[in-house]
Structure 1
Amino acid sequence: MTEGNFVDYIKIHAESGKGGRGSMHLHREKYIDKGGPDGGDGGRGGHVIVRGNTNMWTLYSLKFKKHFRAEHGSDGSKQRSTGSDGKDVYIDVPLGTIIRDGETQEILFEITKENTEQQLLPGGKGGRGNWHFKSSTNQTPRYAQPGVEGQEGWFQLELKVLADVGLVGFPNAGKSTLLSVLTSAKPKIADYAFTTLKPNLGIVEYRDFQTFVMADIPGIIEGAAEGKGLGHRFLRHIERNSTLLFLIPADSDDIKTEYGILLNELKKHNPELLDKDRLLAISKSDMLDDELKEEIQQDLPKGIKTLFISSVAQQGMMELKDTLWKMLNT
């Protein structure tokens, strides 16, 4: 999906370099008419390499450059001189990027660590010069190998946002507001569904100058795992989070049912998501008095810790940070 500068899906075409030709040169110098073969090898073609870059947050830079071609290797020359290798081409991507084969959709590799380099396409090997083929029965071979052709293909790049905590909830649950209060992020906030059309990242400052990263994933709707609403594009961003913070507003008709729907959508998308640590926060709790909180607590989902918070009234923020920090570091 794309909104503004946030791009998390792109297709590119890449082509590695062809290997240089081997040389068929025969050695000649003054007083030496037949010095034998001395043709050098061709240089290898340039590789196409994908590299992790921590300064990038989206695939936006690839939106305007979708074709990558590495240099060809140079041909070999006399005196067994090997041709120079073709220059490699690097494709920088943000951490969390998955590279798939454009035709088969097979996952080739993932980039999750800084400065990780993965070879997408190898350059063609350089051909061997004629001096390799000299033998007792063929003293002056007049042939050499051509360089090996490079490879090319279309590839699909998908970004899964890397964050410690992922916010999960229906549209208008208050996720963007919570992120704006806990971090310096400035997500778009308004009172209508799908205000957030892109994942927003923010750094939560904790005690003693410690921090963790929180991501506001756009709202899930029932059927999202089948692609309804904004579908798979959002659900995949949750896969990288180690802890999931479910956010359901206090004025919800049925908190337990909403939580069950959200959990079911995650399960249908990827059952492994249920193995992650989960915390439930009831937002907009400044509307509740103690009696209403007790009444709601009687019908909350079992097996998950629950907190009452209010982003607007700044209620429960420190307790929420403490709980999340403990979950992330247990």
Structure 2
Amino acid sequence: MKFVDEAIIHVQAGNGGNGCISFRREKFIPFGGPDGGDGGSGGSVWLVADEGLNTLIDFRHQRSFKAPRGQNGMGSDMYGKGGEDTTIRVPIGTVITNVDTDEVIGDLTEHGQRLLVAQGGKGGLGNIHFKSSVNRAPRKATPGTPGDVRELKLELKLLADVGLLGFPNAGKSTFIRAVSAATPRVADYPFTTLHPNLGVVSLGTDQSFVIADIPGLIEGAADGAGLGIQFLRHVSRTRLLLHMVDIAPIDGSDPVEQVRAIEQELSRFDPELLERTRWLVLNKADVLPEDERQAAAEAIVEQLGWTQPWFLVSAIARDNTLAVCQQVQRFFEAQREDAAGRVDMLPDDVRLRGDSPAE
């Protein structure tokens, strides 16, 4: 299935039903007074996050959604029935933006989370509301109000713990195949990965994390080159970045320059991404003689002035890939323990209020 991470849809809530002008006419009651009921409210349009979806491809086939209108009011004080709400399922991680105002309406990050994107119109008032001491037979009712109409932009940002960064053909797809059950396409040419892949790395009971294979970036990605903006948005939700580099590119390019080029694109797209925890993974160690691998890796690390953790691996041979995953798991466990420690240090009344530890 082709991965689709952006879509524009048209949503229209139902109009409210009109109020009714009616008078009670029964035998022996010739002047019974007004009895026109109110119109029903129009149906609203909701988006709901569904963990069973991982793409926006369905919106290529249906882009317009309309909720039913409310029923008109009727005589005998009968109110119109309200229109049923329309629910649209979207993947977890979908950001919703109003196309007309460019305002972010919401961000659905949990299964079952709902977001109202178009409010149904209110029902009109029947003439029973306009009776007064000076107007015993009001011939007045109000129409229902129109429902909201919006053009929405849906953007999917992958929810993953770890994001793989790197130039095309750095071995990211091979790495995710080696450490998870995901089976992305792998070949010896650039841009094998044309859409993000998710894999779950399991290291035992209650020890797992989600890793995202982000398609290879190129220079100019922050400006949209090679669909860079569409791919870079997926990096923004990850807690840890693994920056994969081919230790000995067959085209003779410099691994150090490749790292710096990716750093520049991250900085241009979102400066905060460059500050995120990022580990260096020097891949394809198997292409070098065994006695030269460590020295080559250390030379790259020294030129970069790298201070965060780094690893030398061969994804295709699965050499040292398990060690990387174990370190990632320890990193997340330390994060959880640190967060739990900060909460425990708060007074009980603060914890009960649900205030953030940072506050």
Amino acid at match of 1:257: E
In structure 2, what is the Cα distance between the partners aligned to 1:54 and 1:45? 29
1:225 aligns with 2:222: yes
User: 2:278 aligns to what?
Assistant: 278
Paired AA for residue 268 in structure 1: R
Match of 2:50 in 1: 53
Q: Out of 277, 299, 323, which is 1:319 matched to?
A: 323
Q: Does residue 90 in structure 1 map to residue 87 in structure 2?
A: yes
User: Which structure 1 residue ranges, 4+ long, deviate > 4 Å from structure 2?
Assistant: none
Deviation digits for residues 60-116 of structure 1 (CA, Å, limit 9, x no counterpart) = 111101110110000111232211111111111001111112233322211111111
Superposed, 1:209-224 pairs within 5 Å as 210-224=207-221
1:248 paired to 2:249: no
* TM-score, length-scaled by structure 2: 0.88
* 3-state SS in 1 of match to 2:262: helix
Q: How does 1:159-174 map to 2 (within 5 A)?
A: 159-174=156-171
Q: In 2, distance between residues paired with 1:121 and 1:82?
A: 23
Distance 1:24 1:274 in 2: 66
Structure 2 distance, partners of 1:292, 1:58, is 40
CA shift, 1:209, in A, is 5.0
Matches within 5 A, 1:15-54: 15-54=12-51
Q: After the TM superposition, which residues 111-150 of structure 1 pair with which residues of structure 2 at under 5 Å, given as runs? A: 111-150=108-147
Match of 2:95, as an amino acid?
Answer: I
Structure 1, unaligned runs of 5 or more: none
1:285 shift after superposition: 1.4
Secondary structure of 1:281's aligned partner: strand
Question: 1:297 is matched with which residue?
Answer: 298
Identity %: 41
State how far apart, in whole Å, the 1-side matches of 2:164 and 2:228 are: 16
> Greater CA deviation, 244-253 or 103-112?
103-112
How many equivalent pairs are there? 327
Give 1:260 shift: 1.7
Of 76, 80, 85, which residue of structure 1 is paired with 2:73? 76
Distance 1:33 1:102 in 2: 56
Aligned-partner SS, 2:184: coil
Tell me if 1:310 matches 2:314. Answer: yes
Query: Could you list the per-position Cα deviations for residues 263-322 of structure 1 after superposition, in whole angstroms to 9, with x for gaps in the alignment?
Result: 111111011212322111111112342444134314413222101111121111221111
The equivalent of 1:263 in structure 2 is 263
- Does the CA contact (< 8 Å) of 1:52 and 1:117 recur in 2? yes
Tell me the TM-score normalised to structure 1 length. 0.95
Shift in Å at residue 254 of structure 1? Answer: 3.1
Q: Which residue is equivalent to 1:176?
A: 173
Contact 2:126 2:142 in 1 (8 A): yes
Q: 2:64 aligns with which of 51, 62, 67?
A: 67
Does the C-alpha gap of structure 1 residues 154 and 106 become closer, same or farther in structure 2, counting only changes over 3 Å? same
Is 1:185 aligned to residue 189 of structure 2?
no
User: 1:7-47 deviations in whole A, cap 9, x for unaligned?
Assistant: 11111111110100111111122211111112111001110
CA deviation profile, 1:234-259 (whole Å, cap 9, x unmatched) = 11111111111100012144333222
